[in-house]
Amino acid sequence: MAEKSLETGRKQPAVSQHDPKVTMSNALVRAGHGLTLAEKRIVMLAVSKLDSRAPAPVPARLSPVPRTKITAAEYAETFGVDANTAYEALQEAAKNLFERKITFFEPAYTRAGKPLKAIRNDMRWVGRCKYHENEAWVELSWWPDLLPSLMGLKKQFTTYKLQQANALRSAYSWRLLELLMHYKSSGTAEYTIEDFCASMDATEKQKANFNNIKRRIIEPAVKELTEKDGWIIQWTPIKAGRKVVRLRFEFKKNPQSNLFPAS
């Protein structure tokens, strides 16, 4: 996953008066999102505008598909960047959002007593992305098959405040936040190394050596969440022999941190 960001001009993130929240199905939280930081910001800001309790269009392809508009001014206010940076982020993200895909893995049945490899499902975020350069806005038309993961959610979903992520500068940090929020009631999250790598869109080179995952993904993400969102996070690699097979994260809000209101 690309970590490069256009966003160099920063100001203090604004506190949103309507306190937007991001809500997604647990399956979508655990999926690979395939987004750069700027794209992640646009998509999650758009997700926060959807009513997760409203029924999803059924059947999705025969009903009007929800469309969500994001302006450069909204982007700048939410993520604490200047107007030029927000404009450039929208312009760059709009070029690639239609091509970005979500990767789900669903368990397969066993055959002759042996487990089969998980079934891979690739899905787009949007079916159309409109960008108006002069007016500085982007409009996303959601991919129909994705809507049940964003709307009509009554169980098995994860919610967090968008404000928790507005200061993050790494897509890895944001993804780790989402994976932790899936288990926020217990304060302990555990993932197989395969599931974790899939959720993080880890490269083949990173997956080939756990030290790369540790140095490039886990440690920077934990450090940023500790410093910018006030978490205390301890993580433990669980081994089978010499190989890391699972990751356990124990986390809680730092009681001395007042960076953001408690989620």
What would the DSSP string read from start to end of the chain?
A: -----S---B-PPPPPSS--EEEEEHHHHHSB----HHHHHHHHHHHTTS-TTSPPPSSGGGSPPPEEEEEHHHHHHHHTB-HHHHHHHHHHHHHHGGG-EEEEEEPPPEETTEEPPPEEEEEESEEEEEEETTTTEEEEEE-GGGGGGTSS--SSEEEEEGGGGTT---HHHHHHHHHHHTTTTTTEEEEEHHHHHHHTT--HHHHH-HHHHIIIIIHHHHHHHHHHS-EEEEEEEEEETTEEEEEEEEEEE-TT--SS---
Structure tokens at 15: 């506190």
pLDDT of amino acid 223:
97
pLDDT of amino acid 212:
96
The string of DSSP letters for 198-235 reads HHTT--HHHHH-HHHHIIIIIHHHHHHHHHHS-EEEEE
- Return d(Cα 74, Cα 192) in angstroms, integer: 37
Whether 34 and 68 have beta carbons less than 8 Å apart is answered as: no
Q: Give Cα 51 to chain centroid, integer Å.
A: 18
pLDDT of amino acid 256:
77
pLDDT of amino acid 61:
61
pLDDT of amino acid 262:
43
* CA triple 147-103-62, angle to 5 deg: 25
Q: Quick one: which of 47, 14, 205 has its CA closest to 125?
A: 47
pLDDT of amino acid 133:
82
pLDDT of amino acid 119:
85
Q: Which amino acid is at 95?
A: K
All residue ranges of the chain with pLDDT < 50 are 1-6, 8-9, 12-17, 259-263
The string of DSSP letters for 17-45 reads SS--EEEEEHHHHHSB----HHHHHHHHH
- Return d(Cα 66, Cα 172) in angstroms, integer: 28
pLDDT of amino acid 64:
82
Contacts of 199 (CB under 8 A, 6+ apart): 29, 30, 31, 32, 33, 175, 179, 191
The domains of the chain, with CATH numbers, are 20-109+124-166 (1.10.10.10), 167-255 (1.10.10.10)
Whether 217 and 224 have beta carbons less than 8 Å apart is answered as: no
